[in-house]
Chains A and B, each alone.
Chain A
Amino acid sequence: MSGTVLAEAPERAARPAPVRPGRRYRPGGRWRRAASPVLLVAVWEAAARSGVLSPEKLPAPSAVLATGWRLARDGTLATHLLDSLTRAGLGLLIGGGLALLLGAVAGLLRLGDDLVDPPVQMARMLPHLGLVPLLIIWVGIGESLKISLVALGAFFPIYFNTYAGIRDIDERLVEAARTCGLGLLARLRHVVLPGALPALFLGLRLAIGAAWLSLVVGEQVNAQTGIGFLMMEAREFSQTDVVVLGLVVYALLGLLSDLALRVAERRTLTWRRGLRAS
């Protein structure tokens, strides 16, 4: 019954929160959506236990979990995870910082646009993971390779979204701020930065996705630590459970970082909730 819409105000207060537009409300829909993944895992587990799936090809989910628990307890997982996170963080910081700087220069200054944007547009056409051989020649196969790859992956989404975010700001708002006596710096702070923030968040989310992808590739090149190394080493010893565990960790990292960013976005961009409500 909660799907019906009535106009009486006092009744409405007692009803469940109004449904967000664009998402149809179905009673029990959330549970129904969870059913097929649960079923899939159950079939996987059953197939592995009954021997239909050989453990060398795909071990049971429970076995993967047990391996995860074992590696977490002896600290192996934490060490490798920390190394992977450090690479991702450093790469994001370098690539993202550079992208933010160049994106702002190109977005704000006409000269910057003419000088910075064409080479970036050209470089965008290169698949950055295809640069691995060249990067190996340039920076070797050590840590700098992994960090460079992450930085390259993070650069483009942040650059383009910074640029577009600044360009899409309503010029009329900038004018209104000028008539209120705001100087250049104040306009940047009160109009340009908050106006570009939604685009910046989008860029950051895409960049984090690209960073994990770069890490997966980078850590398969001569790594001594990291989740990717853990997986490559396990492959050599045919420890399929560890390989699958690595995949699960990568997936969780992506999921958690996306979730954290969504929360940060919702807190920072409260004004957009008002926009949606109207």
Chain B
Amino acid sequence: MATRTARELTPAPPVLTARAVRRAFGPTTVLAGVDLDIAGGEVVALLGGSGSGKSTLLRILAGLDREATGETTVHGTAAVVFQEHRLLPWKRVAHNVALGLSGPDVAGRVDRALAEVGLADRQRAWPAELSGGQAQRVAVARALVRAPDLLLLDEPFGALDALTRLRMQGLLRRLRAEHGFAALLVTHDVEEALLLADRALVLDGGVIAEELPVPLGPTRTPDDPAFGALRRRLLDRLGVPTP
């Protein structure tokens, strides 16, 4: 709690700044000038209907889209977790996590990252031998082992079943509390956004149409009345009628 209040008093320097990001696919403009700042240690949820350009924006921020214009800067290191685990099927779990790592004690770092996602005993497994949730945890370990300042998450739990998704959300909260990384979480799940984020953004019409602080404590549940109010507001903004 102490670090949280300190962070709220003096805003941390940004880990990500993006200015006037534009992207068009042929005649269709998907992003029409997006401005975005993420402070150190801040978790920002990016919501939007399907086709609103959430994933496009994340890919641009991850440096995977060369045809976008505008300016994006990541201050520090970034790592990405995609909706699909994207593990290399021909590398065992430990080698997938270690992909592209250099420096001292790679094996030890891989060990610790896998232990943190609860898969210390699956080092020698092939990706095809893992369940969907396990594979996604390996993907999280692969991002985590790089000690990122910013984690870019593209609907990371979207392909998982409801129970596994809840467990993964808990895991991400725990890891965030331990490591203090900032994150941009692209999701279409309003509850997920409210459970994990400090701030929620709604992408609509190619721009950030709505920005909503999520002033809920570190132990949040959907039963909280404040949670319900925020949820209703976001759903309204996304055009989903709520009873």
Q: A residues near B, CB below 8 A? A: 172-173, 175-182, 186, 190-191, 194-195, 197, 269-272, 274-275, 277-278
Residue B88 is within 8 A (CB to CB) of chain A in the complex: yes
Report the Cα distance A17→B214, complex, angstroms. 56
Stretch from B20-28, B44-52, B76-84, B157-165 contacting the other chain? B76-84
Interface SS of B by simple majority: loop
A175 touching B129 in the complex, CB below 8 Å, given contacts A180-B100, A180-B142, A186-B100: no
- Residues facing A in B64-102 (CB within 8 A) are 64, 78-80, 82, 84, 86-91, 99-100
Residues of A within 8 A of B63 (CB): 178-179
Q: Chain B nearest CB: distance from A273 CB in Å?
A: 8
Report the Cα distance A219→B152, complex, angstroms. 62
Residue B126 is within 8 A (CB to CB) of chain A in the complex: yes
- Residues facing A in B176-198 (CB within 8 A) are none
Q: Which of A176, A190, A275 contacts B86 (CB 8 A)?
A: A176
Contact A179 B90 (CB under 8 A): no
Q: Tell me the number of A-to-B contacts counted with CB atoms below 8 Å.
A: 62
Report the Cα distance A181→B64, complex, angstroms. 12
A190 touching B128 in the complex, CB below 8 Å, given contacts A180-B100, A180-B142: no
Contact A179 B88 (CB under 8 A): no
Report the Cα distance A191→B80, complex, angstroms. 17
A181 touching B128 in the complex, CB below 8 Å, given contacts A173-B88, A191-B88, A195-B90: no
Residue B62 is within 8 A (CB to CB) of chain A in the complex: yes
| Count class of interface residues, chain B | 20 to 34
The 4 closest A-B pairs by CB, nearest first: A274-B126, A176-B86, A180-B100, A275-B128
Contact A182 B99 (CB under 8 A): yes
Contact B80 A275 (CB under 8 A): no
Q: Chain B nearest CB: distance from A174 CB in Å?
A: 10
Residues of A within 8 A of B62 (CB): 179
Q: Chain B nearest CB: distance from A84 CB in Å?
A: 36
Report the Cα distance A181→B102, complex, angstroms. 10
Contact A172 B84 (CB under 8 A): yes
Residues of B within 8 A of A176 (CB): 80, 82, 86-88
Report the Cα distance A178→B152, complex, angstroms. 14
Residues of A within 8 A of B100 (CB): 177, 180-182, 186
Q: Chain B nearest CB: distance from A28 CB in Å?
A: 33
Residues of A within 8 A of B129 (CB): 274, 277-278
Q: Which of B79, B99, B128, B146 contacts A274 (CB 8 A)?
A: B128
Contact A173 B86 (CB under 8 A): yes
Contact B126 A271 (CB under 8 A): yes
Residues of B within 8 A of A173 (CB): 86, 88
Report the Cα distance A271→B78, complex, angstroms. 29
- Residues facing A in B98-128 (CB within 8 A) are 99-100, 125-128
Interface centre among A178, A180, A274 (most CB of B within 10 A): A180
